[in-house]
Amino acid sequence: MKKLKNEKEWLKKAIAEGVKYGEARGAVEFESTDSAHEKIEYIYRLLVHDKVIQPIPEDQISQKAMRHKLAIWASKKG
């Protein structure tokens, strides 16, 4: 897994965009008490379900891998 330049910034943007995406779709309503870990996992699974991003193989799924995948998604989104 190649490190993305400014990965933390891209991850923040991915979480913000993912929250907007999920709420606009009517699939979820995030609470202020939801942890970043929960948001990352939910957004990742929603984007995979909607075929927006390619899934990570089940045996390789981890919080780090999901963070990386979302950061890449945000960087490509612009």
pLDDT at residue 40 tops 80: yes
Task: Provide the CATH number for the domain formed by 7-77 in this structure.
Answer: 1.20.120.1930
3-state helix, strand, coil in the chain (%, to 5): 65, 0, 35
How many C-beta atoms surround the C-beta of residue 46 within 10 A? Answer: 17
Q: Which whole number is the average pLDDT over 57-65? A: 95
Q: What average pLDDT score do residues 1-24 get?
A: 92
pTM of the shown model = 0.91
Residue showing tokens 């008490």: 33
Residue 3 pLDDT > 90: no
The 10 Å CB-count burial string (b at 16+, else e) for 9-27 is: ebbebbbebbbebbeeeee
- In the chain, domain spans: 7-77
Residue 11 clears pLDDT 90, i.e. is over it: yes
